[in-house]
Amino acid sequence: MNRTEQLGWIGQSVWLDNITRDLLDSGRLERYISKLSVTGLTSNPSIYDKAIGGSADYDEAIKRLAASGASTESIFFELALDDLRRAADLFLPVHRRTNGVDGFVSLEVSPLLANDAATTASEAVRLYGLAGRPNFFIKIPGTTAGLKAIEETIFAGVPVNVTLLFSTDQYLAAAEAYTRAIERRVEAGLDPYVASVASVFVSRWDGPLAGDLPPDLHLKLGIAVSHKTYGAYRALLQSDRWQRLLNAGARPQRLLWASTGTKDKKASDVLYVEALAAPLTVNTMPEETLLAFADHGSVAPSIVPGPEITEGTLVAGVNSQNEELLAQFKSVGVDIDDLGRRLQEQGVEAFATAWKSLLTRIEETAAAPVAR
């Protein structure tokens, strides 16, 4: 059993946080599925901005679609849907084997809609219909407006990847939106299982604090917040509210660790993967992190959720050692709640910037003369 298989054995799904046409055409994704136990895939505007800007693989299709009169945004979604349908088909055996729990790919709605709940929800339904695959997640950011869209999209039966979550409170707000939607489906006599993941971003916590912390706290905040969030997640699943939904045939929204590549080149390149091994979770990894972990990662369940607790005290499920670590950050002046809010705002802005860059690339490619 190799290292990535061992993550699956303890109950964590390994996903790839990347998509390019070359990844598909070269057969690399198929090899990752068969050799490294990859069971899903995520994409975002930044990934596609790099994919389209970094190769000529999309040029012919862009020119053809532009010549047909398609809008720039429509061209992008056509390109992305073509890639992601191919990837989704590769993951269909996993999706079937796990009864619809695993084997998903993800496509994000336009980040420019982050503050427009109604349009986000309708766009999510439209894109899921265009995808034409059961194992498609539509990504919606967990902003205030996004939470409203998430509830309505889940209630409509569309699988959702809730993105850009950072703090435990942000995760719980996303989980509440999902739970309300499932409760509404149960009350309406609809299928109570609509797949979802809540994507908690990890490494971005540590970037703003680099160089400003005592050495013994370096690169520990993202992990500590994630451990606290895992405690809240496990507590929610133990609550009477979710036990009732499980009895009605629902399945929980899974917790997904995102942004798990190590940005500090002096640190272990598998730091966040090793620190977040836990059952009933997903870890979506950049390609280089996946390969690094497969080569030299160490596998052991690393999160202690803490004692069993009752409904109403959900965040108390984290272990006391982790609570002490978070207290140390507060003692040196880190306002964790404020930083979490700022990270989410910055994430929305970064994806919007990548989206605009992506559309500009498509326009420039469409207008460029054909190479002779």
In this structure, is residue 137 part of a structural domain? yes
Quick one: pLDDT at residue 46? 93
In this structure, is residue 278 part of a structural domain? yes
Domain range for 15 is: 3-367
pLDDT exceeds 60 at position 230: yes
The model's pTM: 0.94
Candidates 35, 63, 139, 220; catalytic one: 139
Burial 69-100 (b: 16+ CB within 10 A, else e): ebebeebbbbbbbebbbbbbebbeebbeeeeb
> What average pLDDT score do residues 97-125 get?
97
In this structure, is residue 311 part of a structural domain? yes
pLDDT exceeds 80 at position 32: yes
Quick one: pLDDT at residue 306? 57
Quick one: pLDDT at residue 209? 86
pLDDT 10s digits, 262-309: 999 999 999 999 999 999 999 999 999 999 999 999 998 778 665 544
pLDDT exceeds 50 at position 316: no
In this structure, is residue 372 part of a structural domain? no
**Residue 97, domain CATH:** 3.20.20.70
Is 139 catalytic? The answer is yes
Quick one: pLDDT at residue 317? 47
Quick one: pLDDT at residue 1? 78
In this structure, is residue 27 part of a structural domain? yes
Quick one: pLDDT at residue 372? 55
In this structure, is residue 53 part of a structural domain? yes
Q: How confident is the model at residue 371 (pLDDT cuts 50, 70, 90)?
A: low
> What average pLDDT score do residues 318-340 get?
92
CB 111 within 8 A of CB 49: no
> What average pLDDT score do residues 342-353 get?
96
pLDDT above 70 covers a percentage of the chain that reads 95
Quick one: pLDDT at residue 44? 94
Quick one: pLDDT at residue 203? 97
* Structural domain count of the chain: 1
Q: What average pLDDT does the structure give for the chain?
A: 94
pLDDT above 90 covers a percentage of the chain that reads 90
DSSP per-residue codes, 96-163: HHTTTSS--EEEEPPGGGTT-HHHHHHHHHHHHHHH--TTEEEEEE-SHHHHHHHHHHHHTT--EEEE
Instruction: Identify the H or E element spanning 9.
Output: helix 3-10
